[in-house]
């Protein structure tokens, strides 16, 4: 696991040069008025909580930049979990935000998640730290470390993990190209 984190840090440093390209052009992907669409995969045994033996989660996320470097987000998710007591499905809905640090792709996030599982509900505040690796002008790969704090049962349902996502940052000129 230590090798994975060290590789991610080295890759983040190498990719920050790509974000500098946008600054030199006078525009940034994190400017006010832009929109974001993303999907991510979590779990795959890269997370830990007290009751889960393994799980796989899929999340869809949309966002809007209300100010430079500040994005509001909404997320919908599904998780299939193998627990000590059997298998379960969890549906989640979240609202939150991201703050991008110095236009280099590094971001901090916070959200409030509503989860429904096994005829039960839980609200979990969550914090994230991640990086947006730009593949091209609009598409990113986004590794993210996250922590979710359960108020229902801290020992069993609070989770720390790694999530890998793909994001698309839509510029105003992107809409024009899609319509044509």
Stated as kind and residue range, the H or E segment containing 15 is helix 2-25
Dist. CA 83–CA 104, nearest whole Å: 39
pTM equals: 0.74
pLDDT digits (tens, 9 = 90+) for 14-47: 444 444 444 445 567 888 889 999 999 876 555 5
**At residue 11, does pLDDT exceed 50?**
no
Query: Domain segments of the chain: what residues?
Result: 2-179
141, 38 Cβ separation under 8 angstroms: no
62, 74 Cβ separation under 8 angstroms: yes
Tokens representing 177?
């190209």
pLDDT digits (tens, 9 = 90+) for 141-175: 999 999 999 888 777 778 888 889 999 998 765 44
Dist. CA 133–CA 43, nearest whole Å: 20
The pLDDT of residue 45 is 54
| Residues whose CB falls within 8 Å of the CB of residue 47, separated by 6 or more in sequence, listed in order | 55, 159, 160, 161, 162
Domain over 2-179 is classified CATH 2.40.160.20: yes
- Go through the chain and tell me how many residues it has: 180
């Amino acid at each position: 696991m230590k090798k994975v984190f060290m590789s991610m840090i080295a890759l983040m440093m190498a990719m920050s040069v790509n974000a500098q390209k946008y600054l030199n052009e006078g525009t940034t992907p994190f400017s006010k008025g832009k929109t974001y669409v993303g999907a991510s995969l979590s779990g795959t045994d890269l997370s830990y909580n007290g009751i889960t033996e393994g799980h796989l989660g899929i999340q869809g996320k949309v966002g809007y930049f209300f100010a430079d470097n500040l994005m509001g987000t909404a997320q919908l998710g599904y998780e299939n979990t193998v627990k000590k007591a059997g298998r379960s499905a969890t549906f989640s809905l979240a609202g939150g935000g991201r703050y991008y640090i110095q236009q280099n792709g590094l971001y901090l996030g916070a959200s409030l998640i509503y989860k429904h599982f096994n005829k039960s509900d839980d609200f979990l505040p969550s914090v994230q730290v991640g990086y947006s690796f730009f593949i091209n002008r609009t598409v990113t790969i986004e590794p993210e470390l996250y922590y979710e704090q359960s108020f229902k049962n801290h020992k069993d349902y609070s989770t720390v993990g790694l999530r890998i996502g793909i994001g698309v940052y839509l510029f105003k000129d992107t809409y024009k190209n899609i319509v044509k």
